[in-house]
Amino acid sequence: MLVRLPRWLTLVLAVAGGLLADAGFPDIGIWLATLAGVALLFIATVRDSPAWNFFVGTVWGLSFFLVHIRWAQYAVGDVPWVALSAAEALFVGASMLAWTYVRRIAVVGRHASLQALTFALVFVAGELARSAVPFGGFPWGRVAFSQSESPIGRLAWLGGMPLVSLVAVVAAALLAIAVLALGRLNLFRAGGCALAAAAAVGVGLVVPLATQAESGTLQVGAVQGNVATPGLDAFNHRREVLNNHVTGTYALLDEVAQGDLDIVLWPENGTDIDPQVDADAATLIDDAAAAVGAPILVGSQEFPPSGGRYNVSLLWEPGVGVVDRYAKQHPAPFAEYIPIRDLVRPFSSAVDLVTNDMIAGTEVGIIELDSPRLGRMVTIGDVICFEVAYDALVQQSVAAGAEMLVVPTNNASFGPTNESTQQLAMSRLRAIETGRTTIQISTVGVSAVIAPNGVLLDRTGLFTAEQMISSVALRTSLTPAVRAGEWPARVVLVAAGALTLAGMITSLRDRRAARAVPPVTRRAKAAPRSAPARRG
């Protein structure tokens, strides 16, 4: 498999691969481009040097993340954007270092299928590692999140995001091996790998994705209130944002009669004024809920006496007030709270924009809605904003009984970037993974209603004031992915770790064996054979 490409060419391939991989994500959204970008990474790391391939992988990662999370630059500035991109890129570099050792295992080096599978295992293990550490991890940019419109994305139903990423990277590696074989005019190997890659892409088409209601339907209204100005200053006028969502709630009555809706959904930060302590905010929300004749799931903030704050979803019942609550379990580090503040401040004064650190909630993300029309309690899964990127939080919500999913989010700080549509792609894959209708509702967009098979049923614009009304199919069956929970990720991590260790042991044994051969013998083995004497 090894090819002696010039170092400069491997770097060119790495940069091109990272940029191409990003093109598979929204807003460009050509999912095959991500596979091509990962294939270029495979080709760029063909040199047999762990240190060099670590560097090449890091370059690929930088090329990808600097573009992919450009919205971080818009929101918090250059230094945090570059620092986060560099930190994430190092995980790609570490994966490629591991891959260099893994392919030294003899059986791996001899079989294209094993090369593709083991490359995918170490690559996805790197994704899983950076999704967990440091500070709880940052899953943005996983290959799976580029596949919301591809056949591979349907595999989320079977094995969640780890399986989607794994199959996508296997397909990418097979494409790369086909290209390398074609360069050596090995048409049989090239054709076989290309066909195998096509099979990997298409295998998701056999996955059954049901969408029918299993426990009735829920009539849902969702309000995208909008803000006056995008960016970090969007919520300086808190009363205005609250009023926008109140106004949007009354606007639902242009399409439905009072009492037609079972619940109204507001986004994260629909009001930053806690209606539990502010009488005016409470009156505005209660009057709006009474007008539509339905409880409102209000995105708000809580400020406990002990300090800090919670990011909460409050189920507000008209005439009663808060009847259920969910507090965000995974606040975003360096955005909603600042770890190691004193160490970070010299590099960016933006840390002081967060003056009150967010506290993590401790309860699973579910809201219990008493539905008079259905005559029972309906369990709604609630994952706030970036929590949609974390596998366990979503799966735990559904395993706890969620019959639909709500993703309240606030994208105002990211302005006109593609952060909101990247998040929407995640929500679509979560719908497939869990078999649940999913509603992403944002302060400014993009908001959407997503069927359990990932199909968009309704969608709003960005920085618009809009409302959505939907009859939501409630479902109770658990998909294989939810039943498996974290096991697919564990299998990938253990397999990648074992392969890396085996590769390092193989490499060490080979070096010891080479040193054991006397220099004269090594030279004799390396010397070319002399031409045979001519007869007669």
Distance from C-alpha of 316 to C-alpha of 135, rounded to nearest angstrom? 32
pLDDT at 531 over 50: no
Residue 516, pLDDT score:
80
Length of the chain equals: 536
User: What is the average pLDDT value for the chain, to the nearest integer?
Assistant: 93
Residue 339, pLDDT score:
84
At position 487, the amino acid (one-letter code) is: W
Q: What is the DSSP letter of 333?
A: B
- The percentage of the chain sitting over the pLDDT mark of 70, rounded to a whole number, equals 94
Give the pLDDT confidence of 344-367 residue by residue, as tens digits: 777 766 676 777 899 999 999 999
Residue 331, pLDDT score:
94
Please return the burial class of 320, using the count of CB atoms within 10 Å of its CB with bins 0-12, 13-18 and 19+. exposed
- 203: helix, coil or strand? helix
Distance from C-alpha of 38 to C-alpha of 169, rounded to nearest angstrom? 7
At position 243, the amino acid (one-letter code) is: N
Q: Are 217 and 472 in contact (CB under 8 A)?
A: yes
pLDDT band at 533 (very low <50, low <70, confident <90, very high): very low
Closest C-alpha to 73, from 424, 349, 444, 413? 413
- 391: helix, coil or strand? helix
Q: Are 103 and 137 in contact (CB under 8 A)?
A: no
Q: What are phi and psi of 47, to 5 degrees?
A: -70, 145
> In Å, how far from its chain's centre is CA 475?
24
Q: Are 82 and 158 in contact (CB under 8 A)?
A: no
Give the pLDDT confidence of 315-344 residue by residue, as tens digits: 999 999 999 999 999 999 888 888 877 777
Where in the chain are the domains?
7-208+486-512, 217-482
Closest C-alpha to 402, from 383, 415, 427? 383
Residue 529, pLDDT score:
41
Q: Which residues are catalytic?
A: 268, 328, 385
pLDDT band at 145 (very low <50, low <70, confident <90, very high): very high
Residue 520, pLDDT score:
58
Distance from C-alpha of 22 to C-alpha of 143, rounded to nearest angstrom? 9
Give the pLDDT confidence of 9-59 residue by residue, as tens digits: 999 999 999 999 999 999 999 999 999 999 999 999 999 999 999 999 999
Residue 232, pLDDT score:
57
Structure tokens at 494: 């253990």
Give the pLDDT confidence of 372-410 residue by residue, as tens digits: 999 999 999 999 999 999 999 999 999 999 999 999 999
Element (H, E) at 32: helix 31-44
Out of 45-54, 61-70, 74-83, which region has the weakest mean confidence (pLDDT)? 74-83
For the four alpha carbons of 160, 111, 44 and 118, in that order, the dihedral sign comes to positive
pLDDT band at 3 (very low <50, low <70, confident <90, very high): low
pLDDT at 228 over 90: no
pLDDT at 525 over 90: no
pLDDT at 297 over 50: yes
pLDDT at 483 over 70: yes
Count how many Cα atoms sit within 13 Å of the Cα of residue 120 in the half-sphere of its side chain.
29
In angstroms, the Cα distances linking 23 to 143, 179, 244, 301 are 11, 21, 35, 36
In angstroms, the Cα distances linking 281 to 241, 284, 312 are 11, 5, 15
CATH 3.10.20.310 is held by the domain 217-482 = no
Mean pLDDT to the nearest integer, 506-518: 85
Long-range contacts of 333-336 (CB under 8 A, 24+ apart): 333/135, 333/136, 334/76, 334/80, 334/84, 334/135, 335/75, 335/76, 336/311
Distance from C-alpha of 447 to C-alpha of 482, rounded to nearest angstrom? 24
